[in-house]
Structure 1
Amino acid sequence: MTESHTLQQALETARRRIKELEEELAKQESSNNTPLEEVAFESAPGGMAILSSEGIFLACNKVGADILGYTVSEMDGLPIDRLCIDEKCKTLLKTSTHVPQNINDNRISMRRKDGERIWVDMDITPVEYGSKQAVLLSFIDITPLKELQSELNSVYSDVEQLIKERTADLENANYNLGALNHKLIKRDVEHQTARKSLQESEQQFRSIFENNHAVMLIIDPDSGAILDANPAAVEFYGYSLREIKTLNIAHINTLDDEEILQEVKNAEQEKRNHFFFKHRLANGDIRDVEVFSGPITSISGRILYSIVHDITERREAEEKLEQYRRIIATATDLYSLVDRDYRCTMVNDSYLSTFKLKKSDVIGKPLQQLMGQPIFDQHIKPYLERAFKGEACNTEHRVQLSGEDRFFTVTYNPVPRADGTIDYVSIVSRDITELKEQEQNLRTFSERLAIATNAGEIGIWELNIETNEVFWDDMMRRLYGLKASDDTPTYEVWHSFVHKDDLAKAEKALQGALKNNSQFSCDFRITRPDGEERHIKSAAQLNDPSERPRSMTGVNWDITKTRKLQEELQRLATTDSLTCAHNRRSFMERAHSEVARSHRHGIPLALLTLDIDHFKRVNDTYGHPAGEEVLKSLVNVCQETLRFTDVFARMGGEEFAAILPETQIPEAIVTAERVRKAVASTPVNTDAGIIDYTVSIGISTLRDDDDSLDDLMRRADKALYKAKENGRNRVETE
């Protein structure tokens, strides 16, 4: 399609549109004689009013009267002085009639009929009204926005920036709408002028509609069908223009009818001219939107013109801000916000309850008055000055509350704006009185513990499981023979101290405790740097698994004396005091164990019973001391002759026995003969003379049907008696 053809089509469309407008104007004039400018004036979505050069309202639409709290009739003839709060407002509005140019984007404070102060965003356009010079005031109520900006400015500059951007969009839209409405409000003009004005207005509106960055929709107010959408709306919702024009607003608005009615009621109660909805995009995302809607009367009928602002980020910021407020309000720490005049601008509930104050006692009051000038000058002001320079400070203060000294940690944090300027400092205080008491109690306990551990020679250690770092106190160093000047020991150093024969046992016990999250307990030997060997008892407990880093805390104490005493007691309990052979008790325990093992694994077992021949004669002839030497000699010969695994014991008097594990009759006979011959060939040199002596030996082996050790010993005793009866100095089997 050529460009000329396109222009021809546009021209034809414009001609048809003019004809339609003419017909509609004719109908309106014939029906109620209401000029179209007046219809546009009354149907504008914002407040509009005509102000004479004398400062008297000549006309005002219903939206404008509602904003100012008057009826339309009350606005006629109302002097501007009744609405202006300050001289700036009066001067601006009175002098604007003498300035031959538009004055846009004026945010001024005005007084409603009920005395309430409001803020409006006003565009001022010079016009002729009834052949007299006047101005057209186009304005919207921005009081809620002003209040929200004032509140958010003190906390989040980024939210302030977002609001400014949204406000700029709104101001731009209102400016464009004001320019459009200005072309529609001329009264008492010729029919042709009205038609031309309407045509120009529609073209201007279409240009604004198409080129505006704000999201705009045209909606059928009866059915909710979306009649048109500008490119910004197409981009925002993610539909093509054709698709979006097939939708109903109910497809986009996620609120149900009841929720929509409730929102309309809320807007009326809160006296706001916009609504908060949730709109669904083509990709399924749900966005929070702020919708400014107003009816517009066109040739084709009434339509709903809506400007949609995406406020999702603003809502998220507001919700986050509210969360922060709730956190601060309910925190147990004491929060306060101080300005550069050292006045409190905010405190939380904990602050008020701690100092037993009301909010009115604190807000706006200087800290000098709240804390006292000396305390402020000495303990507070220096830190505030540092914080206002951008430095975060920490300190401790002692405060007397209800006659009691309380200790607080206090943090002074600068609160910078987006441009880096610092107008406020937050002060966070925490009562650490109980912690101070606990620290003192812990210090006292530590001192007592040090005294106790030093007295008991108990060393304390701690192992960082994640890094293998080790802490030893002074007693640990002394236990291991280290000097205080030596380097801090490591886990590997502890390894090097542990005796090589005990290292595997100690390491296994430690790793088992770490794996099973259980207590560690182990005895092991260490070798000190000077070569001395000591026995150490170690016990430890893991810390709480939730704590980081994981660690184990334990103690060591020297049990060398105890171990030697235990070993001596064990030796005395299991050894014959004269000959140092196993005693009867030790032998019986070992023999029972070997019998059970042989039965369990099906291996052979032999038992020897020995008796010194004519031992009474030795005692009678040479004396008991000489007899004792014979007993010792017998034990030495047998221990040298028998295997290491064989158990040899003195059963009483001159009677002895030996258990030979894994030995059958033939091997037992060989062993017994070797013992007998060794004894016979080993005379004993005593003070009473040299004594030759012999032994008789009985042998028995374990049978499958033996119920106990007694059966085995009974057969060995019979074999011993047999050896004696057969002439002594011989070996007999069962």
Structure 2
Amino acid sequence: MAYKKNIAALLQQVHEMTSVLDNIGSYVYCKNLAGKYTYVNADVAALFQTSVQDIIGKDDSYFFDLNVLDELLKNDRKVIFGKVSLAFEESNLIKSTGKVHTYKTIKNPIFNEMGEIIGLSGISTDITMQKLLEEDNQDQKHLFDVILNNIDAYIYMKDAKRRYRYVNRRVAELIGLPAEEIIGKLDTDVVSPSYADHFWQTDKLAFEGNEKVVINETLESPDKKTQHYLSTKVPFQLRGDMRTMIAFSTNVTELYQLKEKFEQLANTDVLTSIYNRRYFFDNANREFNRAKRHQQALAVISLDVDHFKTVNDQYGHPVGDQVLIKIAQLITPTIRAEDIFARIGGEEFSILLPNISLSQSLQAAERLRDLLDKKPILINKNIMLSIKISLGVSVLKASDNCFQDLYARSDSALYQAKSQGRNHVYLID
């Protein structure tokens, strides 16, 4: 009776253990020294698409592709003959499905009560989907690395503690360190404090406002040239509470230089390289309004080349052009930084003089007249011309309503200077 109870208890234990192993979520099996299966759980039978009974007594050649069979046998021999445990990953082609599965496998030797090895046990967990996801992640990471490292922009991620989380190849080259030596470090650890603080001023705008920031940034390069960057900085949340920002900065120095060049061309007289008529009047109107608002002085000198038509008729227009160029070159060094010197048209020039008194403006005009009067203009080794100029001067009056009122008086004064025999300065106050 006791014997039957023991048998029943043992069978119950076997049933319970079998139930556990059938629901463990891994492939569990045992083999004897000949490599034949002595036990498999339900998952192994399902994988091989056959019954447990049909597997017992058979070796791996019945269930696995011959291309992977040698590797399976080699690992089994290591466990049996080496009497050691093995943990490894393996990929096997299952004959019944024609599919390759990847497993994380642990194999252990089995000993009898006398310590003799009689086989091995194995537990294999299918990690095929995990490996596929890892491969997909690696492929995506590689794709992003290729894109981010070859895009024409400086890209970096930084957390709210100023620690780099990512830099692309361009940023690494700019800093002068490999990316792996930058990531994880504070910006002040890899660049000078002044450089780091300069960019942190705009980095933190994204954190403080918690919204995208688009901003123009400037930086002096090692060769002392100013570099311009258009930067977009976007805050976002990483795992947990890690506040992070990603920045995309594009070097737009060439565009800035091109813009400045276009602006210069738009404001410059093509022949003489001084300011043109449009620039003169745009700024003159602003200066007029400023002077009226703050009750400050403002003067205009209009000047014209005497007998310029004679020069063109006698020597030709190319020589006439050289005369205008030489006059501009002579006058430019004599005016103040705040003055605006422009060619209005033909042989007529104007100078806008902020914050200058009536007497000072007359003195300035007389100096220019005297300069041209005493300095012949050398065109080439065969042509030296004595060029005279007439100048009209006007100063701002309380009754002036617009700049044109002031300018019209200087133009009238210029006409009077010419009427008096040229090479004169005339004032209409």
**In the alignment, what sits opposite 1:537?**
229
Amino acid at match of 2:233: Q
Deviation at 1:347, TM superposition (A): 7.9
When the two structures are aligned, how many residues end up with a matched partner? 343
Between the aligned partners of 1:397 and 1:486, the Cα distance in structure 2 is 32
**In the alignment, what sits opposite 1:598?**
291
Between the aligned partners of 1:398 and 1:522, the Cα distance in structure 2 is 56
Q: Does 1:702 align with 2:378?
A: no
Deviation at 1:693, TM superposition (A): 1.4
Between the aligned partners of 1:677 and 1:441, the Cα distance in structure 2 is 79
Q: Is the 8 A contact 1:498 1:527 kept in 2?
A: no
Amino acid at match of 2:147: L
| Structure 2 CA distance for partners of 1:465 and 1:407, relative to 1, 3 Å | farther
| 1:372 aligned counterpart, secondary structure | helix
Q: Does 1:344 align with 2:20?
A: yes
Between the aligned partners of 2:269 and 2:314, the Cα distance in structure 1 is 24
Q: Does 1:459 align with 2:154?
A: yes
Deviation at 1:642, TM superposition (A): 0.9
Q: Is the 8 A contact 1:510 1:520 kept in 2?
A: no
Q: Is the 8 A contact 2:172 2:179 kept in 1?
A: no
**In the alignment, what sits opposite 1:15?**
none
Q: Is the 8 A contact 1:470 1:490 kept in 2?
A: no
Amino acid at match of 2:161: E
Unmatched 5+ stretches in structure 2: 3-14, 26-38, 49-59, 61-71, 73-86, 107-124
> Per-residue displacement from partner, 1:363-417 (whole Å, max 9, x unpaired)?
xxxx942321697999xxxxxxxxxxxxxx99999999xx89899999x9xxxxx
| 1:657 aligned counterpart, secondary structure | strand
- Which range moves more in the overlay, 465-474 or 637-646? 465-474
**In the alignment, what sits opposite 2:275?**
582
Between the aligned partners of 2:375 and 2:287, the Cα distance in structure 1 is 31
Deviation at 1:545, TM superposition (A): 4.7
Q: Does 1:676 align with 2:337?
A: no
Q: Is the 8 A contact 1:538 1:554 kept in 2?
A: no
Deviation at 1:581, TM superposition (A): 0.2
**In the alignment, what sits opposite 2:385?**
691
| 2:302 aligned counterpart, secondary structure | strand
Between the aligned partners of 1:622 and 1:498, the Cα distance in structure 2 is 59
Between the aligned partners of 2:357 and 2:100, the Cα distance in structure 1 is 87
1:237-636 correspondence runs (5 A): 341=17, 343-344=19-20, 368-372=40-44, 436=134, 439=137, 442-443=140-141, 445-446=143-144, 449-450=147-148, 454=150, 457-469=152-164, 471-478=166-173, 480=174, 482=176, 488=182, 491-492=187-188, 494=191, 508-517=201-210, 518-528=212-222, 531=223, 533=225, 535-545=227-237, 548-636=241-329
Deviation at 1:611, TM superposition (A): 0.9
Between the aligned partners of 1:719 and 1:409, the Cα distance in structure 2 is 100
| 2:41 aligned counterpart, secondary structure | helix
Between the aligned partners of 1:471 and 1:486, the Cα distance in structure 2 is 9
Deviation at 1:666, TM superposition (A): 2.6
1:226-245 correspondence runs (5 A): none
Between the aligned partners of 1:394 and 1:543, the Cα distance in structure 2 is 42
| Structure 2 CA distance for partners of 1:556 and 1:638, relative to 1, 3 Å | same
Give aligned-pair identity as a percent.
25
| Structure 2 CA distance for partners of 1:467 and 1:496, relative to 1, 3 Å | closer
Between the aligned partners of 2:224 and 2:235, the Cα distance in structure 1 is 33
Q: Is the 8 A contact 1:629 1:684 kept in 2?
A: no
Deviation at 1:436, TM superposition (A): 4.9
1:204-215 correspondence runs (5 A): none
Q: Is the 8 A contact 1:461 1:470 kept in 2?
A: yes
Amino acid at match of 1:439: N
| Structure 2 CA distance for partners of 1:599 and 1:470, relative to 1, 3 Å | farther
| Structure 2 CA distance for partners of 1:720 and 1:520, relative to 1, 3 Å | same
Deviation at 1:582, TM superposition (A): 0.7
Deviation at 1:466, TM superposition (A): 0.5
**In the alignment, what sits opposite 2:345?**
652
RMSD: 4.6
Deviation at 1:682, TM superposition (A): 2.2
Deviation at 1:486, TM superposition (A): 11
| 2:375 aligned counterpart, secondary structure | coil
**In the alignment, what sits opposite 1:294?**
none
Deviation at 1:434, TM superposition (A): 9.1
Amino acid at match of 1:369: N
Deviation at 1:551, TM superposition (A): 2.7
Deviation at 1:655, TM superposition (A): 0.8
| Structure 2 CA distance for partners of 1:557 and 1:442, relative to 1, 3 Å | same
Q: Is the 8 A contact 1:522 1:539 kept in 2?
A: yes
Deviation at 1:621, TM superposition (A): 2.8
| 1:607 aligned counterpart, secondary structure | strand
Deviation at 1:615, TM superposition (A): 1.2
Provide TM-score, normalisation by structure 1: 0.40
> Per-residue displacement from partner, 1:501-560 (whole Å, max 9, x unpaired)?
xx96x66544434432331422424323xx373624241323315754333222333434
1:12-31 correspondence runs (5 A): none
